[in-house]
Amino acid sequence: MIVPGVTVRAADGGDAVAGVRPRWVALPETTEEIAAVLRVAADHDLAVVPVGGGTTLHWGPPPERCDLLIDTCCLNDVLEHVAGDLVVKVQAGVTLDALAGTLAAAGQRLALDAPGEGATVGGTLATGVAGPLRFRYGTARDLLIGITVVLADGTIARAGGKVVKNVAGYDLGKLFTGSYGTLGVITEATFRLHPLPADSRWVTTSSADPGVVGALAASPLEPAAIELDRSGPHGPVVLSILVEGVAAAERAKAVQDLMGGDAHIGEEPPTWWGRLPGDDLLLALRVLPAALEGTLHAVAAHAARLSLAPHVRGSAGTADLHVALPAESDPGKVAAFVAAVRDEIRPDGGRLIVLTAPSELDFWGGTGALGLMRSVKARFDPDRRMSPGRFVGGI
């Protein structure tokens, strides 16, 4: 494959996407070069998968086909940082860790937790993943104010902050966040920022009732994050609450008094803070906050019935959790567990998706918006060449 001015190499085994090996890997350095690559891909009907740091490339079902991998590693510049306006514009290949270092020098941060070492801006947007700070600051979709993307036919589109061109009234930022690369390639993003906190404290306990989460979330103590960790169906529910700001120490003491029991205050987070509970067989579970306690009971009950050992971790404040099962778990029992939990949480608006799994499972489950999502896919990628089959309903 030849694209003038763009480095293209033959793919190897390390470039496989969920087990599917592409033929080529393109290494463009600008939005315009990505557009050129996608025009060539369109001319030759090549299926394309974008990749950033590769930390979540194995999430989701494998693509139906993958001819070309577009690696954004060379799009790694911070294009503009307007500290006075709390705004930053970056290329998609910038890692969140590198961006954090740049912003910290100005006393600012992007309140978005990296899902793993080496995670990039583009990959984090594409998967829609968020960490502990989502409770106070929202997800990537909430912090994103502008985006540049390249569509399957090579069209460059921009929306949001510093608008140059929009596309038929679509909110590109919201559409592309969590789209798993099925609509096009994210090349640039503009975010709103927040000041770095003057101080931080973590209050951690293994004896609190999960029912206290609601009281904490609504309290004037203003926690920045409320995380939980539970290893095994019968293990204790460990809660850790982050408080930030000039009065963090005093507010942490008030949280400790509210939690009671063995609650203790630390200046560093627990070792598990912001980390996924596992990676070989990983599920994402989202319910309404009011349903958190019942959902934890349901997960434990179905796991115990099937002799499974789930590790649950995530935001208690937003009831956005990850559930990891041992890689050696019986595939039939895993499928039964997924189906049972889905049935239990569906009436309350809950949803469970499979992120990684060694066996064939229903990754996404049902969704009432599938017809609309297929229409959007047809609008942006009518020939189904962008990460085909990786999203809901085989989109």
Q: Assign residue 59 a region: left if phi > 0, alpha if psi is -120 to 50, beta otherwise?
A: beta
Let me know how long the chain is: 395
Contacts of 198 (CB under 8 A, 6+ apart): 244, 245, 246, 248
Strand order in the sheet with 184-192: 78-82, 87-91, 184-192, 144-151, 156-160
Amino acid at 299: V
- For residues 266 and 202, is the Cβ–Cβ distance under 8 A? yes
* Partners of 227 in beta bridges: 240, 315
Backbone φ and ψ for 391, nearest 5 degrees, come out as: -115, -175
Tell me, what's the pLDDT at 142?
Answer: 92
- What is the C-alpha to C-alpha distance for residues 381 and 395, in angstroms, rounded to an integer? 10
> For residue 260, what is the enclosing H or E element?
none
**Which token pair is 19?**
């087990």
- For residues 29 and 79, is the Cβ–Cβ distance under 8 A? no
Which DSSP state fits 20?
Answer: B
- What is the C-alpha to C-alpha distance for residues 47 and 28, in angstroms, rounded to an integer? 17
- What is the C-alpha to C-alpha distance for residues 211 and 87, in angstroms, rounded to an integer? 37
What is the residue-level pLDDT of the chain in tens, covering all 395 positions?
788 899 999 999 999 999 999 999 999 999 999 999 999 999 999 999 999 999 889 899 999 999 999 999 999 999 999 999 999 999 999 999 999 999 999 999 999 998 788 999 999 999 999 999 999 999 999 999 999 999 999 999 999 874 334 444 458 899 999 999 999 999 999 999 999 999 999 999 998 787 889 889 888 999 999 999 999 888 899 999 999 998 999 999 999 998 888 999 999 999 999 999 998 899 999 999 999 999 999 999 999 999 999 999 999 999 999 999 999 999 999 999 999 999 999 998 899 999 999 777 899 988 878 999 999 999 999 999 999 999 998 99
Tell me, what's the pLDDT at 170?
Answer: 56
What is the gyration radius of the CA atoms in the chain, in angstroms?
Answer: 21
Amino acid at 224: A
Tell me, what's the pLDDT at 169?
Answer: 47
pTM (predicted TM-score): 0.92
- For residues 172 and 160, is the Cβ–Cβ distance under 8 A? yes
